[in-house]
Amino acid sequence: MISKKDTKFLEKLIDKFDDSKNKKTYHFPLLEKGFTNEDIFRGIEVLLSRKLTMSEITKKFENTFAKFIGSKYALMVNSGSSANLLSAFALINPKKKGRLKPGDKFIIPAICWSTSLWPLVQCGLQPKFVDVNINNYCLDEKLLKRDKKIKAVMNIHILGNSPNMDMLSHYVKKNNLFLIEDTCEALGSKFRSKYLGTFGDFGTYSFYYSHQITSGEGGMVICKTKEDYDLLYTMRSHGWDRGLNNSSKTKKFNFINSGFNVRGMDLTAAIGLSQLKRLKKMIKSRSKNRNSIVNKLKNHTEWDNQYTFFNPNKNLKPSWFGLPLLINKDLIFKKEKFLKYLNNSGVETRPILSGNFLNQQGCKLYNFKYKKSDIKISQEIEDRGFFIGLPTNDMSLGKLNFLTEKLIKIKDF
Ligand SMILES: Cc1ncc(COP(=O)(O)O)c(C=O)c1O
């Protein structure tokens, strides 16, 4: 443990390396000062112990995460992508009851992330892209139809939002489908009284930079049954039985299944655990900051409906990731120049996820079948949308003014 005297020394050192205090003007990155002194201390303690790899702290993080989220099992991995990878490969594994077969179809929203889609494709499954809802950018549950070839849903909770989980859960149950909830952008959002990620067979989370909590890199996958947990556990580390309750007592290197190496680390687990303690506070600040930005823009003398804001789904208590904005249709032609201006003046922007993913070059290689007319909203969100970060501390009035004065000016470009 770091003593009080050491703490003082380290605080001075951290302060010396903090370049944000030298910045004279306001800026608005996706995430500012993502780590507190406390987070850094917990990381340093692990470094000093010289035991960086997965061990007791990872286990503690998993147990604390499972308890927080309300899931029976949680397994730490090295990224949200790896959490998706394990979930996808679990669905086709010989150990999985009712496992999927090559060519089986799965539903995925057309606004998706690369590693929400590809692990399932790498498993030999075929995507059926479904359009999203213009109000929340998530899978439009009203478009879900009965189709015997569809065996699973990869749902994505975009930027803290969600589809109507009552309807999605009903559809999944009625048609006897597997459900993976990619919750990499929505840790802490609740639909009714349940955290997102806990509705499906598997829920996945990312702790990458600027997500609801960050440990630099890192991820978590949750599941409901011991069978699924043991399967994920084995696949996480080479297909090995080491550490399982029923592992071989006589053979040390016993590989009981296929696998990867996507283990977490005690170093990142210690930082993640420290961040998880602050999650509720950060959710509050992000929500407050979002409301301040939206209100300030809407009450600005120059407000002329330049943007449409996205709304939490009914019954959702959101944990925002960032603030997405849809540019008014009449102003779309200004988007490129305007975003360049924002980025050059310190307001970092990103596309909404990666836009309509079917436009990505990688998809052309795979010749996915779809009709453009079926994914019109996803295209509209790509054309009109961008997002900015939301600070995890309550932001100052100066910063709020800096941002809104920039955003309101889009018409001038
Ligand atoms: C929806 C979604 N899924 C998966 C991922 C992958 O997470 P990671 O970067 O931790 O691999 C991301 C990353 O931003 C994401 O936004």
Q: What is the pLDDT of residue 330?
A: 96
If one residue of 108, 111, 115 were mutated to test the ligand 1 pocket, choosing by the most ligand atoms within 8 A of its CB, it would be 115
Q: What is the pLDDT of residue 93?
A: 98
Q: How far is the CA of 245 from the centre of ligand 1 (A)?
A: 31
If one residue of 81, 138, 210, 220 were mutated to test the ligand 1 pocket, choosing by the most ligand atoms within 8 A of its CB, it would be 81
Q: Which atom of ligand 1 is nearest to the CA of 84?
A: 4
Quick check: pTM over 0.95?
yes
pLDDT over 90 percentage in the chain: 93
Q: What is the pLDDT of residue 270?
A: 98
Are residues 226 and 199 in contact, defined by beta-carbon separation less than 8 angstroms? Answer: no
Given phi > 0 = left and psi -120 to 50 = alpha, else beta, which region is 365? alpha
Q: What is the pLDDT of residue 66?
A: 98
pLDDT over 70 percentage in the chain: 100
Q: Please tell me if the domain spanning 45-276 has the same topology as the one spanning 279-412.
A: no
Fold of the 279-412 domain: Aspartate Aminotransferase, domain 1 (3.90.1150)
Q: What is the pLDDT of residue 245?
A: 86
Ligand 1 in contact with 62 (CB < 6 A)? no
Q: What is the pLDDT of residue 1?
A: 82
CA distances from 247 to 241, 250, 254 (A): 5, 9, 8
By C-alpha distance, which of 262, 260, 229 is closest to 243? 229
Question: Cα–Cα distance between 73 and 64 in angstroms, integer?
Answer: 10
Ligand 1 in contact with 210 (CB < 6 A)? no
pLDDT of 153 above 90 = yes
Please return the burial class of 392, using the count of CB atoms within 10 Å of its CB with bins 0-12, 13-18 and 19+. Answer: buried
Q: Which atom of ligand 1 is nearest to the CA of 211?
A: 14
Q: What is the pLDDT of residue 376?
A: 98
Please return the burial class of 243, using the count of CB atoms within 10 Å of its CB with bins 0-12, 13-18 and 19+. Answer: exposed
pLDDT digits (tens, 9 = 90+) for 161-194: 999 999 999 999 999 999 999 999 999 999 999 9
């804001």: which residue's tokens? 309
Question: Cα–Cα distance between 15 and 207 in angstroms, integer?
Answer: 24
> Looking at this protein, which amino acid is placed at residue 44?
I
Average pLDDT, the chain: 96
pLDDT of 288 above 90 = yes
pLDDT of 261 above 90 = yes
pLDDT of 102 above 90 = yes
Q: What is the pLDDT of residue 177?
A: 98
Question: Cα(first)–Cα(last) distance of the chain, in Å?
Answer: 55
Give the mean model confidence (pLDDT) for residues 31-35.
90
Helix-strand-coil split of the chain, %, nearest 5: 45, 20, 40
By C-alpha distance, which of 234, 413, 233 is closest to 341? 413
CATH class held by domain 45-276: alpha beta
Q: What is the pLDDT of residue 46?
A: 97
Q: What is the pLDDT of residue 48?
A: 95
Q: Count of residues for the chain? A: 413
Q: How far is the CA of 205 from the centre of ligand 1 (A)?
A: 8
Q: What is the pLDDT of residue 58?
A: 98
Ligand 1 in contact with 181 (CB < 6 A)? no
Q: How far is the CA of 155 from the centre of ligand 1 (A)?
A: 13
pLDDT of 249 above 90 = no
To the query of whether residue 170 is one of the catalytic residues in this protein, the response is no
Give the mean model confidence (pLDDT) for residues 68-96.
98
Nearest CA to ligand 1 atom 7: 80
Phi, psi of 190 (to 5 degrees): -120, 135
């993913």: which residue's tokens? 357
Are residues 201 and 167 in contact, defined by beta-carbon separation less than 8 angstroms? Answer: no
pLDDT of 195 above 80 = yes
Confidence of residue 22 (pLDDT cuts 50, 70, 90): confident
Domain boundaries, the chain: 45-276, 279-412
Ligand 1 in contact with 171 (CB < 6 A)? no
